[in-house]
A and B are shown apart, each in its own frame.
Chain A
Amino acid sequence: DAGVTQSPTHLIKTRGQQVTLRCSPKSGHDTVSWYQQALGQGPQFIFQYYEEEERQRGNFPDRFSGHQFPNYSSELNVNALLLGDSALYLCASSTLRMDTDPYEQYFGPGTRLTVT
Chain B
Amino acid sequence: AQRVTQPEKLLSVFKGAPVELKCNYSYSGSPELFWYVQYSRQRLQLLLRHISRESIKGFTADLNKGETSFHLKKPFAQEEDSAMYYCALSPGGSEKLVFGKGTKLTVNP
A residues contacting B by CB (< 8 A) are 3-4, 31, 33, 35, 40-45, 48, 56, 58, 90, 92, 94, 96, 102-110
Contacts and interface: CB of A to CB of B under 8 A. Distances in A.
Interface of B is mostly: strand
Given A42-B86, A42-B101, A48 B95 contact: yes
Given A41-B102, A42-B99, A45-B97, 11 more contacts: A33-B95, A40-B101, A41-B101, A42-B86, A43-B86, A48-B96, A56-B95, A90-B44, A94-B95, A103-B95, A107-B44
A102 B44 contact: no
Contacts of A107: 43-45
Contacts of A110: 43
Please provide the 9 A-B residue pairs with the shortest distance between their CB atoms, ordered closest to farther.
A42-B99, A107-B44, A45-B96, A42-B101, A43-B99, A102-B95, A107-B43, A109-B43, A42-B100
Contacts of B86: 42-43
B70 interface: no
A11 B47 CA distance: 30
Interface of B: 4, 32, 34, 43-46, 49, 86, 88, 90, 94-102
Given A90-B44, A107-B44, A56 B94 contact: yes
Contacts of B102: 41-42
5 contacts: A3-B43, A33-B95, A35-B97, A45-B97, A109-B43
A42 B45 CA distance: 13
A64 to B, nearest CB: 14
